[in-house]
Structure 1
Amino acid sequence: MNLFTTTLPALAAVAALVFTWISVVQVSDELTISEQGQIADRYDTAVEKLVDDSTDVRRGAIYSMQSIMTDSPRMQPAVIDMLSKYIRDRATKNLKTTEKSPDIQAALYALGNRNPSHDANAVIDLRGAHLVEAKLEGMNLSNADLRGTVVSGANAEKAVLSGARLEQAVVKGTNLTGADLSDAKASEADLKKAVMAGADLAHADVEQADLRDADLTGADLSGVDMAGANLEGAYLAEVRWNDTNLAGVRRPEGDLPDDMSSRTAQPPRSQATNASQ
């Protein structure tokens, strides 16, 4: 048996394997292209339905967009932009409460429960939206643009708002218990009577913010810039003050720490009683 007769079957086998591999790759590529086309069609259909007169149809379109973010992470930035615009366009000052707009609440849920690692350069942009009494508990709205947004009376317990922009936002009476507001920018925000017990505001900017009667029990204010903020009537038990800037803070009770290495400040007994009511 010569070398040619022994090598030929081996070469044929290798060629068959190569051909099979190429075929598999081609089929895989074709499936990927087909899937991408289907997802693009789903997205286009959902966008068309977002302007339907029926709230149920619009809400169905929003659910479809949420599914698209799961099935195709590369489409997530486009979905974020579209749903953000949808909320801005519909959550106007005429909207008395978000509870009466299930489609807007559905859009908030879709944005707040996405996988942030797929955001790329997209930012949740809800500037100027009126989201009174919205349900935001546990949602991830990190780095969201909420400048001038009205979220008074909302439930944002344990929400993630790290790095969010809240300048001049109206957040009065909002439940932010245990929320992550680290590195948030909330200068001149209206936070009257907001409940921020146990919230993390480390390194946030709340210059000139209105925090009257806010509940900051056990909040982390380490490194926070509070210059010129109004803390009149705020409940400050067990607050962490490490490196907090309190320049020009309004606090008639006069119980702010003089030494920023101090970790806690206890309000007067009468103040504690009022804050708990």
Structure 2
Amino acid sequence: MGVAAVIALVFSTIATRATNDTVTAAKKQVELTRRQVELTERGQITDRFTAAVEQLGSDDSEVRLGGLYALERIAKDSETDQPVVIEVVGTFVRENAKPAGTPPAKPVSPPRAEPAEVPPPAVDVQGGVSVIGRREMRAVADIIDLSHINLAGLDANIPDRPAQNFAKALLEGTDLSSADVGRVNFTGAQMRDVRLVAASGSRSNFTMTAMSHADLTRAELNGAVMLGVRLDRATARRAAFDGADMSKAILVNADLRDAQLGGVNFMEANLVNADLRSAYLGGAQFPKADLTGAKVTADQLNTAVVDGTTKLPRGLALIDGKVRTVP
């Protein structure tokens, strides 16, 4: 190798090293800039969070509502902060909503009169519940505790908005009387002793929801998805569930007197000792359902779909495709 070639190789090596050093320095600068941006953004989020929480302590309900919506925006901008934000909003709702069992603000209607209109929750409480309902669900849902509070009159079904989501929420003993729960997702929620008196809304989802001892008197939940729901010892007199899916539901000792159950899918449901007197069962499906001890007549069941897999109460039998009274 000649002298010129050696000199050229030396200069090439030096140039390469210089280039590599420049690239390394540039990468370090980019990383430093990224970290500075992250620190700046984190500081901004912290400032926004502090300001929003301060708004929640205002005497003005509109200011509190603004604070709730500011927290919602933080949750959308920062996924890592969502659990803390939702916990704060949930605490706000629990502390500002009336406890379950609180008498309504308006006088109760006199006997035989039309039911009194139930006033909705305070605007900021309604807003807080909406923020929780609009949260983005992650792979493992955070447990939302809204138990034992009065949310009577809540409007959770907002047109042209995504469905509210209370999957796996803790709603035991909560009062949702006269609430609009259309399209709301209660999948897997704990709703023992919940009050849904005169609640309304189609296409709600109560899949695998625990609702033992719930009061659904006069509720209108037509088309609801209630696969595997637990409604043992629940009261649903004069309620409407037309077209609902109650397959594999547990309705042991449930009171369904005068209920509208047209077209309901009761396949594999457990209705042992359920009270179905005067309930409308037209088109309801009872294959593999257990009606042992249920209070129901042959005439009612002959309007429904019953087959040899249906366990009928004592005194009733399927003969020639018809349910008949037997000794």
Q: Say yes or no: TM over 0.5.
A: yes
Instruction: Tell me the equivalent position of 2:91.
Output: 85
CA–CA distance in 2 between the matches of 1:116 and 1:157?
Answer: 19
2:80 aligns with 74
Matched with 1:101 is: 122
Deviations 1:168-201 (A, max 9, x none): 0111111131101101110000111111111000
Contact 2:146/2:171 (8 A) holds in 1: yes
- 1:41 to partner: Cα distance: 2.0
What is the CA deviation profile of residues 73-116 of structure 1, one whole-angstrom value per residue up to 9, with x for unaligned ones? Answer: 11111111111111111110367456362111111111111101
**2:150 maps to amino acid:** H
Correspondence 1:134 to 2:154: yes
What CA distance in whole angstroms lies between the structure 2 residues aligned with 1:86 and 1:95? 21
Could you tell me which runs of 5 or more consecutive residues in structure 2 were left unpaired when the two chains were aligned: 106-117, 158-162, 290-295, 301-327
Q: Would the alpha carbon gap of residues 47 and 200 (structure 1) be closer, same or farther in structure 2, given more than 3 Å must change?
A: same
Is residue 139 of structure 2 the alignment partner of residue 122 of structure 1?
no
* 1:51 alignment partner in structure 2: 57
Overall identity of the aligned pairs, in %: 25
Say whether 1:113 aligns with 2:119.
no
Q: Do structure 1's residue 240 and structure 2's residue 265 form an aligned pair?
A: yes
Q: Residue 99 of structure 1 aligns to a residue in which SS? A: coil
Structure 2 counterpart of 1:26, one-letter code: L
Distance 2:17 2:177 in 1: 74
Moved more, 45-54 or 202-211: 45-54
Return the alpha-carbon distance in structure 1 between the equivalents of residues 188 and 26 of structure 2.
Answer: 51
Q: Which has the higher contact order (CA 8 A, sep 6+)?
A: 1
Contact 2:258 2:279 in 1 (8 A): no
Aligned-pair Cα RMSD in Å = 2.4
Distance 1:55 1:254, change over 3 A: closer
Structure 2: distance between partners of 1:180 and 1:159: 6
Q: Which residue of 2 aligns with 1:273?
A: none
Contact 1:211–1:229 (8 Å) recurs in 2: yes
Change (3 A) 1:176 1:164: farther
TM-score, normalised relative to structure 2: 0.76
Stretches of 4+ aligned residues off by more than 6 angstroms: 254-258
Give the Cα separation in 2 of the matches to 1:95 and 1:19: 69
2:267 & 2:44 partners in 1: Cα distance? 53
* Contact persistence 1:229–1:250 (CA under 8 A): yes
- For the pair 1:146 / 2:171, whether they are aligned, the reply is yes
Alpha-carbon distance, 1:143 to partner: 1.0
Normalised by the length of structure 1, the TM-score is 0.89
The one-letter amino acid paired with 1:80 is I
Deviations 1:225-264 (A, max 9, x none): 11111110111111111110101111123877895337xx
Secondary structure in structure 1 of the residue aligned to 2:138: helix
The whole-number CA distance in structure 1 between the counterparts of 2:141 and 2:88 is 14
Q: Who is 1:170 aligned against?
A: 195
Tell me which residue corresponds to 1:24: 30
* SS of corresponding position for 2:59: coil
Match of 1:209 among 205, 225, 234: 234
User: How many correspondences in the alignment?
Assistant: 266
Q: Which runs of 5+ in 1 are unaligned?
A: 269-277
Q: 1:63 aligns with which of 66, 69, 86?
A: 69
Q: Is the partner of 2:32 in helix, strand or coil?
A: helix
Letter in 2 for 1:158: R
Tell me whether 1:159 sits opposite 2:192 in the alignment.
Answer: no
By percentage of residues, which structure has more helix?
A: 1
